Structure 1
Amino acid sequence: MAELQVRPDTTAEAGALDRPPARSPEPPPISEPGPVREAAPDPLRRARALLAAHPVADGFSGLPWALRGLPWYDLELGDSAVDADVPRLRAGGVGAQLWSVHVPDSVPADRVLGATLEQLDLVKHVVAAHSEGLRLARSASEVADARHCGRIAILMGPARAEALGDSLATLRALHALGLCSLTLSGTSWAGPDGLTPFGEEVVRELNRTGVLAELSGASEATAHRVLAVSKAPVLFSRSGARALRDAPGNLPDELLGALGAAKGLCLVPLAAEQTGATIGEVADHIEHVRRLAGPECVGLSGTYDTPSTHPEGLADTSRYPHLVAELVARDWSDDDLARLTWGNVQRALRGADFAARAARERLRRQAGG
């Protein structure tokens, strides 16, 4: 075994022991902790959180007519042939949609009513076949009930006014089948010169039944007269700001102001030809309408499953959070965002119901007198 080697201490250099020992550096002074600053919330995360509480009420979908051209579809599992199915509606924070029962202009006048009835029947069939995700609604309370049950509320309308012909009875029959909105344009009684006396009676009957008057594509004369006659809120379901883009269907500033004074509702479309090719341009239209008509008079209209081209980044209904995130980044308040996505459409539906109840009460009093 090798011997244990012990290393002796090294002799100190001359004078080393005479020097004072080196002092260790003093630690830096401890500063008092300041207030902790929270990181700015991510706009997209905040948008998703807001939509969980206040989902999108989408004011126009062309899905019923798009489905007519498909041999097979399953909206519950997802269908790449359309822009809106249940998974993408949920991903986009959509809580309600108005499904248009418009029929194309190519349908002959004598076939418009029949084709509209077919559209109403198709909507009922589609919703019944996808009852785990969708539920029919026709009022603000039924929309809220559908949401509380975890379903997406589907409202039927608008329909083309040509379906009425000159019959108020037809309007009442369509309402009984569930129609919630009627577009007042393209008829002899709602044309370039405004409403005829019969047209005014149509508006009053809409109020009595609780069907919303919809004015996209109507002449300015018709729009102003409907605003004056109607006791219920009036919709423009696909209208941007003409001051920003001079496109068919967009509204001049003067009409936006009148709409705000009447507490109507302008639903800004996600359509490139009307509101631009980017999310930022769509947001510009939304802000312009809010500034002129008021925060309670602006909403959203996807115009999905229509021939419209959608702005970059808004290809289908799952992309709504990105539009809301753009508005979050522009310092919109939660209250204004909640009105935009959900509250304003609910207000319009409640207004239609209130006008119908008031009309029925007047008729009851007159009958009793």
Structure 2
Amino acid sequence: NAVQCGLALTAADGPRLKAEGRRALYLSIENSYPLGLDAGNVAKFHALGMRMLGLTHMLNNDIADSSTDPRGAEWGGLSPLGREVAAECTRLGVVLDASHASDAALRDLLEISRAPVVLSHSGCRAVCDHPRNIGDEFLRALAARGGVLQLNALPVAVVPVPEDGRTAAISAILLRLRDAVLTPELQAVIHDEWNRHEAQYPNPPATLDDYVRHIEHAVAVAGIDHVGIGCDFDGGGGVAGLNEVSDYPNLTAALLRRGWTETDLAKLWGGNTLRVMRACEQAAG
């Protein structure tokens, strides 16, 4: 309710709401599919309060290639429409989120965007070789353009897992979804299949220390000004010791034990991402 939280539309709104004792709620969209084939729809969602837009999700769409589509690349990066969408986001001050996007799509975005880019929930490929994570060359390029990598706590992207049929099982489900009309009946079937897959291939035993390794690697490569937190708790994220928001103090304590300062922690816990948002607001127009 409005006593406990408030809609935040600018970078300045977050600190203001905090000073009022309320939670700041920033609205984002993961997967640009709802835009349809019209980049002008970005403005409609912006008018409704959206301030960050994720290009894609588990599969390619009309905007960009995904890092996990079993059929591989469709556009070789951003599509022509994706470039229009990126330009419209920049015009409106909407933060562009490249999590889930392919390497080529991220490269395109870094080349054409006039504003910094965020990866809202990704990891470091040098620590865990997973397609959802990014390599050091992209970390450096992201930092050079003022962007931020927010570290994901999805176990399969935090620690390596054996290839025990997991990837093939996921790919089979994704291929069924790719061109399907998602009726309630099909949605129920897919949901049951996914639950069976989760039971057969449980998440690897990732820990808070494993997660911290991603943070410290990202800081070593990109610098403290370009790293944040994006645990993806609502999408399967969570490791031992960091399974929900009430566990956040565990992460802060772990970093303090490693010598982190309060200034560094303030940057990690939102300061860097708010800086990107301010930069996007300034680049608008």
Aligned to 1:209: 92
Q: How far 1:346 sits from its partner (Å)?
A: 1.0
Aligned to 2:11: 140
Which residue of 323, 332, 356 corresponds with 2:260? 332
Which residue of 311, 317, 324 corresponds with 2:239? 311
Which residue of 141, 160, 170 corresponds with 2:41? 170
The answer on 1:322 being equivalent to 2:205 is no
C-alpha distance in 2, partners of 1:309/1:215? 18
C-alpha distance in 2, partners of 1:218/1:183? 8
CA contact (8 A) 1:182 1:211 kept: yes
Aligned to 1:294: 223
Q: How far 1:155 sits from its partner (Å)?
A: 0.7
Aligned to 1:231: 114
Which residue of 123, 130, 139 corresponds with 1:240? 123
Residue by residue over 1:240-262, the C-alpha shift from the partner in whole angstroms, topping out at 9 and shown as x without a partner, is 11111122311111111111111
Q: Against the structure 1 CA distance between its residues 148 and 274, is the aligned structure 2 distance closer, same or farther, given a 3 Å change threshold?
A: same
CA contact (8 A) 1:240 1:269 kept: yes
Q: Name which of structure 1's ranges 309-318 and 195-204 shifts more when overlaid on structure 2.
A: 195-204
The answer on 1:348 being equivalent to 2:276 is yes
The answer on 1:158 being equivalent to 2:32 is no
Larger Rg: 1
Aligned AA for 1:209? L
C-alpha distance in 2, partners of 1:338/1:271? 23
DSSP 3-state at the match of 2:131: coil
- What's the TM-score, normalizing by structure 2? 0.76
- What's the TM-score, normalizing by structure 1? 0.59
Q: Against the structure 1 CA distance between its residues 261 and 156, is the aligned structure 2 distance closer, same or farther, given a 3 Å change threshold?
A: same
Aligned AA for 2:253? A
Structure 1 spans left out of the alignment, 5+ residues: 1-129, 360-369
- Structural mapping, 1:72-221, within 5 Å: 130-185=1-56, 186-191=60-65, 192=73, 193-221=76-104
Q: Name which of structure 1's ranges 196-205 and 167-176 shifts more when overlaid on structure 2.
A: 196-205
DSSP 3-state at the match of 1:238: strand
C-alpha distance in 2, partners of 1:337/1:212? 22
Q: How far 1:263 sits from its partner (Å)?
A: 1.2
C-alpha distance in 1, partners of 2:81/2:143? 26
C-alpha distance in 1, partners of 2:85/2:154? 30
Aligned AA for 1:161? S
The answer on 1:278 being equivalent to 2:207 is yes
DSSP 3-state at the match of 2:268: helix
- How many pairs align? 227
Aligned AA for 1:240? G
C-alpha distance in 2, partners of 1:272/1:190? 25
Aligned AA for 1:291? A
- Structural mapping, 1:25-36, within 5 Å: none
Aligned to 1:26: none
Q: How far 1:201 sits from its partner (Å)?
A: 2.0
C-alpha distance in 1, partners of 2:103/2:237? 26
DSSP 3-state at the match of 1:158: strand
C-alpha distance in 2, partners of 1:256/1:214? 14
Q: Against the structure 1 CA distance between its residues 189 and 305, is the aligned structure 2 distance closer, same or farther, given a 3 Å change threshold?
A: closer
Q: How far 1:309 sits from its partner (Å)?
A: 4.7
CA contact (8 A) 1:273 1:309 kept: no
CA RMSD of aligned residues (A): 1.4
CA contact (8 A) 2:37 2:62 kept: no
Moved over 6 A (4+): none
Aligned AA for 2:280? A
C-alpha distance in 2, partners of 1:278/1:172? 41
Q: How far 1:174 sits from its partner (Å)?
A: 0.6
Structure 2 spans left out of the alignment, 5+ residues: 66-72, 160-205
Residue by residue over 1:314-352, the C-alpha shift from the partner in whole angstroms, topping out at 9 and shown as x without a partner, is 121011111011111111222222111121011011011
Aligned AA for 1:190? A
Aligned AA for 1:261? A
Q: How far 1:273 sits from its partner (Å)?
A: 1.8
Q: What's the % identity of the aligned pairs?
A: 35
